[in-house]
Amino acid sequence: MSDPRVTPWQDGVLPAPPAELLAEMQGRRPNGELIGIDRMLLRSFPLAKGWNELLGRVRAEFDLDLEYRELIMLRVAVLNGADFEWGVHYPAYLDAGGTEEKTVALKNQDAIAELFDEKERTLLTLTDQSTRRVEVDAEVIEQLKQLFGEAQTVEAVATVAAYNMVSRFLVALAV
């Protein structure tokens, strides 16, 4: 965090978060290290608890392939100018099977490159439409259902929605 607009919670500062909440949040992070968004969320314990649970499920429990979810997260970060979000999800996307070439293409605001397959292009169309204008064309949802089934279509839409929430929080508070 370079110059956040709200002072992030710091270790040892009162009020301290409930131990269970802190442990849950640390459990989602490599080496248990809280990151900038965690420390900002800890300014509101109820928010941090709900956020941790929701985003933990999106990240770890959905049936939609993690590579696809990370692709969505990166595209949302680009569209909303959420550099912190990009920085967190860029290595996660590569670890999940994404490529450097695709990350470069994702940064082009208007292009859904030929290097993406049909499933990826459809997910990117969903992400672009939902992020830019909220309303998603019925044809896009139908194509998602054909490619992924209804449950994973719901998960794809929820991933876009959740990470739009994340990016808007990060950008508004300059995290």
Q: What is the pLDDT along the chain (175 residues), one digit of tens a residue?
A: 468 999 998 988 889 999 999 999 999 888 999 999 999 999 999 999 999 999 999 999 999 999 999 999 999 999 999 999 999 999 999 999 999 999 999 998 666 778 899 999 999 999 999 999 999 999 999 999 999 999 999 999 999 999 999 999 999 999 9
CA distances to 5, 6, 39, 71 from 96, in Å: 32, 33, 26, 10
Whether 48 contacts 41, CB under 8 Å? yes
In a domain, 14, yes or no: no
One domain, residues 43 and 78: no
Say what the pTM is. Answer: 0.92
87 and 165 housed in the same domain: yes
70 phi and psi angles, rounded to 5 deg = -65, -35
Contacts of 152 (CB under 8 A, 6+ apart): 62, 63, 64, 144
pLDDT (0 to 100) of residue 63? 98
Whether the Cβ atoms of residue 85 and residue 76 lie closer than 8 Å to each other: yes
Q: Is residue 2 included in any domain, yes or no?
A: no
Instruction: Look at residue 13 and tell me if it is in a domain.
Output: no
Does 142 share its domain with 116? yes
Shared domain check, 70 and 47: no
CA 122 to chain centre: 18
Q: Is residue 27 domain-shared with residue 56, that is, in the same domain?
A: yes
Report the pLDDT value the prediction gives residue 111, as an integer from 0 to 100: 64
Residues with Cβ within 8 Å of 36's Cβ and at least 6 positions away in sequence, in order, are: 1, 4, 8, 84, 175
Mark whether 52 and 72 lie in a shared domain: no
| Host domain of residue 36 | 19-60
Looking at the fold, whether 48 and 93 belong to one and the same domain comes out as no
Q: How far apart are CA 156 and CA 162, in angstroms?
A: 10
The pLDDT, as a whole number, for residue 2 is: 67
What pLDDT, on a 0 to 100 scale, did the predictor assign at position 11? 87
Total domains, the chain: 2
Cβ partners under 8 Å of residue 151, min gap 6: 63
Fill in the amino acid letter for 51. W
Whether the CB-CB separation of 28 and 49 falls below 8 Å is answered with no
Residue 139 forms part of a structural domain: yes
DSSP H helices, 1-97, are 19-27, 36-41, 45-60, 66-80, 83-95
What's the CATH number where 159 sits? 1.20.1290.10
In a domain, 3, yes or no: no
